[in-house]
Amino acid sequence: MRILKYFRAIFPLMDTQKTIEAFRRSLVISNKSSHTTDAYVRCVKDFFQETGKEPDGITTEDIEIYLVKLKEEKRYATASLAQSFSVLRHFFDQFMKKPLTIAMKAPKNTRKLPAVLTKEEVKALIDTAEGARDKAILQTLYCGLRVSECISLKKEDVELESRKATVRGGKGNKDRTIRLSNELVKLIKDTVLERKDTSPYIFVKSTGKPLNVRSVQKLVEKYARKAKITKKISPHKLRHSFATHLLESGVDIRYIQTLLGHSDLSTTQIYTHVSDKKLDAIKLPGDEL
């Protein structure tokens, strides 16, 4: 009897693991990035661990109970809750072909306006940085790259003569071309020439190994303190600042969309709410009365 109970317990687990692995394969085949694939699989695994059920036994109520637990017990932020809901909808409604979430209302994700640095603060941050590599990292982030894109940049991706670089496998697994400033071109040259390792990456540790995301986060925080910038700062804030400063300079928002690698213009349009300098400069009809 105990053996029978054991097999009844183990087979649903095996079925769940097989289903999750099949889901992972479907994400890879649909060209999802490795980061997105890992995040989706983690979410689905956590769901089944919490419910203790096999895929065919899941109901809409199970999904609702799980989401409530994430919000009330695990204190998930609205954006994280909305992401979990989106993953479960993708898994059950699209992959499993079980429309369990069709009648559910998605958590409302209230998008916050990104805080940005002024041009003066960006300059102070870069001026404070020590060495060509660190200055180049900050300048590269200020070209609109995500931190993951910055540390993945390879020597073969950069065309110094034409001041261009190809960002490969960005969000949505898409490539895009960015422009490099004259100063950044010089810094990249100095960064690569100073090194003796054979790593294909532009930015590496002193050991020659690639940098990781946390390394760059700590680097940005370190120079922000040295530059006496009191705002909460991160690598992504330099990306936000880049987009906002372009908009303030009169660059068309569709060009900014391309430089940032946004697939949807509505994502880029958030910067029209951040930048109010243009609004301040508008001459109102009432001023002429």
Q: Where residue 225 sits, what CATH number does that domain have?
A: 1.10.443.10
103 in a domain, yes or no? no
113 in a domain, yes or no? no
**pTM to 2 decimal places:** 0.66
Give CA–CA dist 160/207, Å, rounded.
25
Note whether 30 and 159 are same-domain residues.
no
Please give the pLDDT value at position 93: 94
pLDDT at residue 9 is higher than 50: no
Please give the pLDDT value at position 142: 92
109 in a domain, yes or no? no
Note whether 27 and 159 are same-domain residues.
no
Which of residues 95, 128, 150 is at a domain's end?
95
pLDDT > 90 in the chain, percent: 50
Note whether 80 and 187 are same-domain residues.
no
Note whether 67 and 164 are same-domain residues.
no
pLDDT tens digits, residue range 35-92?
789 999 999 999 999 999 989 899 999 999 999 999 999 999 888 899 999 999 999 9
Note whether 91 and 124 are same-domain residues.
no
Mean pLDDT in residue range 137-149:
92
Note whether 136 and 274 are same-domain residues.
yes
pLDDT tens digits, residue range 177-194?
888 988 999 999 988 877
212 in a domain, yes or no? yes
Q: Where residue 64 sits, what CATH number does that domain have?
A: 1.10.150.130
Which of residues 95, 130, 165 is at a domain's end?
95
104 in a domain, yes or no? no
Note whether 87 and 228 are same-domain residues.
no
More confident residue, 170 or 174: 174
Other beta carbons less than 10 A from residue 165's beta carbon? 25
pLDDT at residue 245 is higher than 50: yes
pLDDT tens digits, residue range 100-111?
999 898 887 666
Note whether 77 and 126 are same-domain residues.
no
Note whether 197 and 165 are same-domain residues.
yes
Domain that holds residue 228: 119-279
Note whether 139 and 254 are same-domain residues.
yes
Strand arrangement, sheet containing 176-179 = 158-159, 164-167, 176-179
14 in a domain, yes or no? yes
Domain tally, the chain: 2
162 in a domain, yes or no? yes
Note whether 146 and 259 are same-domain residues.
yes
Residue 1: pLDDT band by 50, 70, 90 thresholds? very low
101 in a domain, yes or no? no
Which of residues 95, 129, 145 is at a domain's end?
95
- Which residues does the annotation mark as catalytic? 146, 171, 236, 239, 262, 271
Note whether 134 and 267 are same-domain residues.
yes
